[in-house]
C-alpha cells in the first residue's frame, strides 16, 4: 500500500483532537512530539479553534493547509468518520486512528468501525487502527500518545516490529532500548480494521532499511491466516520473519477473542504452516529477543546441528549442554586427532590442564591468543556447524580486545559464531568488539543457545528451498 511509505515518513502532519484546556490529552501529547521532538510541520485541529503550544488551532481538516500527508485522529469514535471523510476530500492518503470504542452502531446502521473502513477503502486511504497507540520510527516519527519520558524509545536499527497489542509493544520497546537493539519502526496495529499485519509485512519486506520483521499476532480474521503465511513465504528467502503468537493455550484463546475478536486458531496447524512457509516461530518473549538480536547481525548459515563450545568455566559448559539438548542442538565429541590439533596451538604452559572435549574448557589460565587459535582450528572441523563462545572475562589473561580479536578469526570461516558475555558495564568494550564485527552477543547462556536455535531454524528453511 503506497500510503504506508508516506505514513512512516511524512513531511507534514496534523493531529485532530488537541485540547486547548488539557495539555496532557492524548492529542496534545502526540502534537508536541511530532512538532517539537520530530521537528515536523504539524497542524493542531479542534472545532473550537484557539492556540495550543503557541500554534494556531485549525477548526477542521478542511480549514487546514493543503500540504498534509499524515493525519493522526484522537477524538471520540462517533466523530471519526466525519474527520476521515474530510481527509478523503482533501486527498490525504495516510491516517492513524488512536481512538477506541468502535463497536457502537452509527447513523448508517453499520458499526462505527465499518463506516470508517468503507471511507478508507473507497478513497484509497491507508488507515492504521483504530484502538492503537500509534506508530514510531526512530529519528523520524512518533505518534505514540505515551509521553517519551515514560516509555523508552530504542535507537535506529534494522528490526521492524508489528504488534496487535499496544502493551506488548511498549514492553518490547523498553527491552530493545535496554539491550541496545535498534529498530527500524514499531507499529501498533490495533483493531487492524483496514490496514493489517500482512500489509506491513509486505511493506517491510521491500524496505532495504529492514533486515528483520517481528510480529506479535493474537489471531487472524477469516482467510487472513493463509494470506499472511503466503506473504511471509515471499519475504522469508530475503529476510527473517519472526512471529510470537498469542492465544496458544485454551485460556489464551479465550483472552484473545476478548481482546481483539480474532480467531486464535489451532496451534498445531499454525505451527506447521509457519514451518512450511518459512516463518520463525518464537515460543516466548525470551526467544523473541534472542532471534531479533541475532538476526540483526546477519549471521552466517548453520547447515547442521553440531555446535563446538569454548569456555573458561566447566560449569558453564554443562549448562550450555543442557540448554542445547532442549533445542535439539548437539555438542559432537572431538576425536583424539582433533583434540591434539587444538591442544598443540594452546599456550604450552596450559596445554596439560585444558580439556578439549566438547565443550572445550580452556580454564581460567587462558588468554586471548588461546581463544583465537583454538577457535581457528575448531571451525575447520566438519562435525562443527557453529561455535558457541562462553566468555567470562574475569580470567586474568583475557583482555578488553578479545571481542574484536576473536571476531577477526571468525571472519576467516564460513561458520556462524555466537558469544555469551555477562552484560556488565565493565565488559562493554568486549561486547562492542564482538557486535561491531558481526558476532552477536547474548546476555545469558540460554539466550546464546536460543540464538543458535534461531539460526538453525532459518538455515533449515533456506536449505529446503535451495537458497543456500
Which pairs with CB-CB distance under 8 Å and at least 24 residues apart come from 100-105? 100/130, 100/131, 101/76, 101/77, 101/131, 102/77, 102/130, 102/131, 102/191, 102/193, 104/77, 104/78
Cell triple for 412:
576467516
Strands 141-142 and 135-137: antiparallel
Q: What CATH number corresponds to the domain at position 276?
A: 3.40.50.261
Show which of 260, 278, 296 is a domain's final residue.
296
List the end-to-end C-alpha distance of the chain, in Å, as a whole number: 31
141 located within any domain: no
| 3-state class (DSSP) for residue 72 | strand
The model carries a pTM of 0.93
434 located within any domain: yes
pLDDT score of 327? 95
Cell triple for 204:
517491510
Residues 88/150, Cβ–Cβ less than 8 Å: no
pLDDT score of 151? 85
Instruction: Please tell me whether residues 264 and 321 are part of one structural domain.
Output: no
Instruction: Please tell me whether residues 338 and 459 are part of one structural domain.
Output: yes
CA distance 112 to 280: 36
pLDDT score of 49? 96
Instruction: Please tell me whether residues 69 and 96 are part of one structural domain.
Output: yes
- Spell out the SS3 assignment of 319-375: HHHHHHHHCCCECCCCCHHHHHHHHHHCCHHHCCCCECCCCEECCCCCEHHHHHHHH
DSSP state of 441: E
Instruction: Please tell me whether residues 68 and 203 are part of one structural domain.
Output: no
Residues 164/189, Cβ–Cβ less than 8 Å: yes
Show which of 242, 263, 296 is a domain's final residue.
296
- Maximum Cα–Cα distance across the chain: 86
260 located within any domain: yes
Q: What CATH number corresponds to the domain at position 47?
A: 3.40.50.720
Return the C-alpha torsion angle 84, 86, 90, 96, nearest 10: -30
CA distance 113 to 132: 13
250 located within any domain: yes
Instruction: Please tell me whether residues 47 and 173 are part of one structural domain.
Output: no
Cell triple for 409:
578469526
CB count, 10 Å around CB of 428? 14
Contacts of 160 (CB under 8 A, 6+ apart): 183, 184, 185, 186, 187, 200, 204, 207, 210, 212, 213, 214
Instruction: Please tell me whether residues 206 and 126 are part of one structural domain.
Output: no
Instruction: Please tell me whether residues 335 and 427 are part of one structural domain.
Output: yes
pLDDT score of 264? 45
pLDDT score of 247? 61
CA distance 168 to 155: 18
Pick the closest to residue 285 from 163, 389, 188, 183 (CA basis): 163
Instruction: Please tell me whether residues 327 and 459 are part of one structural domain.
Output: yes
pLDDT score of 249? 45
Instruction: Please tell me whether residues 88 and 160 are part of one structural domain.
Output: no
Contacts of 18 (CB under 8 A, 6+ apart): 25, 27, 28, 31, 44, 45, 46, 52, 57
Helices (H) and strands (E) in the chain, counts: 16, 19
Residues 7/94, Cβ–Cβ less than 8 Å: yes
Count of structural domains within the chain: 3
Residues 297/454, Cβ–Cβ less than 8 Å: no
205 located within any domain: yes
CA distance 57 to 41: 13
Burial of 369 (0-12, 13-18, 19+ CB in 10 A): middle
Cell triple for 288:
523473541
CA distance 139 to 214: 20
265 located within any domain: yes
Cell triple for 75:
477524538
Mean pLDDT by 10 residues, the chain (468 residues): 89 97 95 96 97 96 97 97 98 96 73 95 97 96 89 95 96 94 97 95 97 94 90 97 78 43 59 92 96 97 97 91 95 97 95 95 93 98 97 88 96 97 93 96 97 97 95
pLDDT score of 222? 83
CA distance 153 to 170: 9
pLDDT score of 271? 83
104 located within any domain: yes
Residues 262/253, Cβ–Cβ less than 8 Å: no
CB count, 10 Å around CB of 48? 10
Residues 61/71, Cβ–Cβ less than 8 Å: yes
Cell triple for 127:
488507515
DSSP state of 426: G
Cell triple for 189:
496495529
**201 to 212, 246, 252: CA distances (angstroms):** 10, 18, 24
Instruction: Please tell me whether residues 268 and 317 are part of one structural domain.
Output: no
Instruction: Please tell me whether residues 452 and 304 are part of one structural domain.
Output: yes
CA distance 118 to 108: 11
Show which of 263, 296, 329 is a domain's final residue.
296
Instruction: Please tell me whether residues 324 and 282 are part of one structural domain.
Output: no
pLDDT score of 299? 97
| 3-state class (DSSP) for residue 166 | helix
Which residue has 580454564 as its cell numbers?
Answer: 363
Cell triple for 330:
548437539
Residues 460/332, Cβ–Cβ less than 8 Å: no
140 located within any domain: no
pLDDT score of 266? 66
Q: Print the domain residue range for 397.
A: 300-464
Amino acid at each position: 500500500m503506497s500510503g504506508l511509505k508516506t505514513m512512516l515518513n511524512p513531511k507534514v502532519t496534523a493531529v485532530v483532537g488537541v485540547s486547548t484546556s488539557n495539555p496532557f490529552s492524548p492529542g496534545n501529547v502526540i502534537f508536541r512530539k511530532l512538532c517539537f521532538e520530530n521537528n515536523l510541520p504539524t497542524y493542531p485541529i479542534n472545532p473550537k479553534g484557539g492556540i495550543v503550544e503557541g500554534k494556531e488551532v485549525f477548526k477542521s481538516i478542511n480549514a487546514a493547509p493543503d500540504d498534509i500527508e499524515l493525519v493522526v485522529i484522537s477524538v471520540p469514535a462517533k466523530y471519526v468518520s466525519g474527520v476521515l471523510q474530510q481527509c478523503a476530500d482533501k486527498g490525504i492518503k495516510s491516517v492513524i486512528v488512536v481512538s477506541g470504542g468502535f463497536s457502537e452502531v452509527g447513523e448508517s446502521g453499520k458499526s462505527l468501525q465499518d463506516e470508517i473502513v468503507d471511507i478508507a477503502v473507497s478513497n484509497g486511504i491507508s488507515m492504521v487502527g483504530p484502538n492503537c497507540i500509534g506508530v514510531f520510527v526512530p529519528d523520524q516519527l512518533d505518534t505514540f500518545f505515551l509521553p517519551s519520558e515514560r516509555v523508552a524509545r530504542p535507537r535506529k536499527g534494522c528490526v521492524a516490529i508489528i504488534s496487535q497489542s499496544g502493551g506488548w509493544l511498549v514492553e518490547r520497546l523498553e527491552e530493545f532500548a535496554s539491550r541496545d537493539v535498534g529498530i527500524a519502526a514499531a507499529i501498533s496495529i490495533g483493531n487492524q480494521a483496514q490496514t493489517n499485519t500482512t500489509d506491513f509485512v509486505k511493506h517491510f519486506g521491500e524496505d532495504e532499511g529492514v533486515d528483520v520483521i517481528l510480529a506479535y499476532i493474537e489471531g487472524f480474521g477469516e482467510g487472513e491466516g493463509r494470506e499472511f503465511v503466503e506473504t511471509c513465504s515471499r519475504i522469508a528467502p530475503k529476510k527473517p520473519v519472526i512471529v510470537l503468537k498469542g492465544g496458544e493455550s485454551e485460556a489464551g484463546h479465550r483472552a484473545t477473542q476478548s481482546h481483539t475478536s480474532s480467531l486464535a486458531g489451532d496451534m498445531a496447524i499454525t505451527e506447521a504452516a509457519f514451518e512450511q512457509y518459512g516463518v520463525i516461530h518464537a515460543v516466548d518473549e525470551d526467544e523473541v529477543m534472542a532471534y531479533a538480536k541475532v538476526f540483526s547481525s546477519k549471521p552466517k548459515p548453520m547447515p547442521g546441528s553440531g555446535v563446538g563450545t569454548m569456555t573458561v568455566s566447566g560449569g558453564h559448559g554443562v549448562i550450555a549442554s543442557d540448554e542445547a539438548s532442549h533445542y535439539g542442538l548437539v555438542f559432537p565429541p572431538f576425536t583424539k586427532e582433533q583434540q591434539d590439533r587444538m591442544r598443540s596451538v594452546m599456550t604450552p604452559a596450559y596445554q596439560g590442564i585444558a580439556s578439549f572435549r566438547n565443550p572445550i574448557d580452556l580454564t581460567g589460565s587462558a588468554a586471548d591468543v588461546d581463544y583465537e587459535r583454538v577457535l581457528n582450528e575448531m571451525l575447520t572441523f566438519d562435525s562443527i556447524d557453529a561455535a558457541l563462545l562462553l566468555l567470562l572475562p574475569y580470567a586474568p589473561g583475557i583482555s578488553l580486545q578479545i571481542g574484536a580479536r576473536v571476531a577477526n578469526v571468525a571472519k576467516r570461516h564460513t561458520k556462524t559464531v555466537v558469544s555469551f558475555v555477562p552484560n556488565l558495564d565493565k565488559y562493554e568494550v568486549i561486547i562492542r568488539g564482538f557486535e561491531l564485527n558481526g558476532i552477536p552477543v547474548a546476555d545469558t547462556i540460554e539466550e546464546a543457545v536460543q540464538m543458535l536455535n534461531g539460526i538453525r531454524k532459518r538455515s533449515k528453511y533456506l536449505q529446503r528451498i535451495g537458497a543456500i
